[in-house]
Chains A and B, each alone.
Chain A
Amino acid sequence: KAGVTQTPRYLIKTRGQQVTLSCSPISGHRSVSWYQQTPGQGLQFLFEYFSETQRNKGNFPGRFSGRQFSNSRSEMNVSTLELGDSALYLCASSVAENSPLHFGNGTRLTVT
């Protein structure tokens, strides 16, 4: 069974631009979560989607948004990029509530 796939693996953007990251969950997994990982703040929860509905949201500004499609694939979007948005963005899927998360290898975003 294929794992969680995130594309692209690396991105370099300029301040003020916007970016869209993509995540394909494991087949059969309907819950998709997004996390931001930085050396200073560690792993921080962004949001979680289940059956195309956002069920949970972390403490991030409105520039961070996401969505989930009917095939459970998910995208997250960051608008008006700031230098501090440079991070590894991790997507994870799970089969049910409180089940272990299965993570992708992440998208490393660098904002210059």
Chain B
Amino acid sequence: AQSVAQPEDQVNVAEGNPLTVKCTYSVSGNPYLFWYVQYPNRGLQFLLKYITGDNLVKGSYGFEAEFNKSQTSFHLKKPSALVSDSALYFCAVIPTGRRALTFGSGTRLQVQP
């Protein structure tokens, strides 16, 4: 099945340190990949997407993601974490031949002051 996997339920990082939230995908053909963030009692907010082109994608709030075809990964990164980045992060893919997003299980990011 075409999907994404987020291997970590939770990531803890100290404020000011770099952060990485991992995502791997399993999609035939060229993947359309996305990252979303969800704050408590809110809907999801779009962070960034990869369709084609540069492997390093820059998004909102200082986040970026690196597409790696050989490792089938699309990890979310930020050079310096903020306490306000603490939230639930979802990786998502549009499977080939479909229009709907398939989401990963989510990773809770906790940034400690």
A contacts, CB < 8 Å to B? 4, 6, 33, 35, 42-43, 45, 48, 55-56, 58, 90, 92, 97-98, 100-106
Contacts and interface: CB of A to CB of B under 8 A. Distances in A.
Contacts of A33: 100-101
A55 B43 contact: no
B103 A43 contact: yes
A56 B100 contact: yes
A43 B99 contact: no
A58 B41 CA distance: 24
B101 A45 contact: yes
Contacts of B44: 90, 92, 101, 103
B90 A105 contact: no
A103 B99 contact: no
B43 A100 contact: no
Interface in B63-110: 90, 94, 98-106
B98 A101 contact: no
Determine the main DSSP class of A at the interface with B: strand
Contact of A101 (B41, B51, B101, B105): B101
A42 B99 contact: no
A8 to B, nearest CB: 14
Nearest to B6: A42
13 contacts: A42-B103, A43-B103, A45-B100, A45-B101, A48-B99, A56-B100, A58-B100, A92-B44, A98-B32, A101-B44, A104-B43, A105-B41, A105-B42
B49 interface: yes
B94 to A, nearest CB: 6
A41 to B, nearest CB: 9
Nearest to A99: B49
Nearest to B102: A45
A92 B103 CA distance: 14
Interface string B38-67: 000111111001010000000000000000
Which A-B residue pairs are the 7 nearest by beta carbons? A103-B43, A43-B103, A100-B46, A45-B100, A103-B44, A105-B43, A56-B99
Contacts of A92: 43-44
